[in-house]
Structure 1
Amino acid sequence: MPVYDYACDDCGTFTALRPMSAFDQPCGCPDCGAQAPRVMLVAPALATMNSARRIAAATNERSSNEPKSSKSHAPGCGCCSSRGLKQPSSAAKSFPKARPWMISH
């Protein structure tokens, strides 16, 4: 159930947990019992996110319900392709006179 804000003429503002079907009906003040109308004290907060985060969330949601098997990978996909990956350099190339089995500081 949502929480709504109300303004009592005598006691001031208060919040009440009410069903959504009673959103437009006045609520009894918890201090004096008088019927208080609903008021909007703050603007409603909207949950927004940028497009990259929204796409990532949609991908995660989709993968939790419909996981792909490893057989569905296509040539050139990021996990199977070696394109763009650097090969580790040999110690002999970077330090020609150093011993390759030693770790330098």
Structure 2
Amino acid sequence: MPVYDYKCAEHGAFYQLAALDDCAKPAACPQCNQLAPRVIILPPTVLDMAAETKQAIARNEQARHEPQHSSVDSRAENTERLKKGCGCQHHKRGASKLFYTAKGEKMFPSMRPWMISH
């Protein structure tokens, strides 16, 4: 059985074990025996969290349920961005330095001469 938090109007917060079926039902205060509603108490770390972190979490939660869809305008922007590259520092290799001899054999000048050609 899980532990739920409740808050009595006179004596404040307390916790109690309850069945899953009884999660929405109020519980009796251990001091005054009055029914107290269930409350959700946030840990202090959530309240002290930086504003940027809260915004990032909210953005992730929104993206989880409401994914962004491409439109005609964003397709053009994405196409231009893809033409420029991904932004990382990958460099494309130059043209192959493969040559063929007069007999038709492959030759790789200035490459790894110890490698066997296929």
Rg (Cα) greater in structure? 2
Q: Judge same fold: TM > 0.5, yes or no.
A: no
Q: Which has the higher contact order (CA 8 A, sep 6+)?
A: 1
Give the TM-score band, short-chain normalised: 0.3 to 0.5
